[in-house]
């Protein structure tokens, strides 16, 4: 009986199934190539999303300034909103926005909205 078990275990050892080293290297190489293709596509998608968020933020700020003009008329002096609340006309943005939007490409950079005496609205980045 013991001899039968030994013979059986030797047969099992001969019929080992698995992947060869070459097959494993091929799979790793394929995964590497797919990763090299996917990463630039992912980064490109992130950049497009940041650009779209920037455009949306600028439209929101311009819309808030347009509402200010509609309610208050053209200002006698240029007004600049920087997202702070120092007092006077420069803090009136709080009446039209819940929060000042963040610049999506760099959190340290802030938006600046200028309303001129001619009623022109510009949305720029602060220096």
User: What's the average model confidence in pLDDT over 86-98?
Assistant: 74
Q: Please state the domain extents for the chain.
A: 19-125
Higher pLDDT, 94 or 7: 94
Q: Max CA-CA distance within the chain?
A: 107
Q: How do residues 39-81 score in pLDDT, each as one tens digit?
A: 888 888 888 999 999 999 999 999 999 999 999 998 888 888 8
**Looking at the whole model, is its pTM more than 0.85?**
no
For the cut 80, the answer to whether the pLDDT of residue 90 exceeds it is: no
State the pLDDT confidence band at 24, using cuts at 50, 70 and 90.
very high
């Amino acid at each position: 009986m013991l001899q039968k078990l030994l013979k059986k275990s030797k047969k099992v050892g001969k019929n080992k199934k698995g992947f060869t080293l070459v097959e494993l290297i091929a799979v790793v190489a394929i995964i590497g190539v797919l990763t090299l293709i996917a990463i630039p596509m992912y980064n490109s998608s992130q950049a497009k999303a940041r650009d779209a968020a920037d455009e949306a933020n600028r439209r929101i700020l311009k819309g808030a300034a347009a509402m200010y003009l509609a309610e208050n008329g053209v200002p006698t002096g240029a007004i600049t909103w920087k997202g702070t609340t120092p007092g006077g006309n420069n803090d009136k943005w709080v009446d039209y926005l819940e929060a000042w939007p963040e610049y999506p490409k760099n959190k340290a950079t802030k938006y600046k909205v200028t309303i001129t005496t001619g009623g022109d609205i510009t949305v720029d980045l602060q220096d």
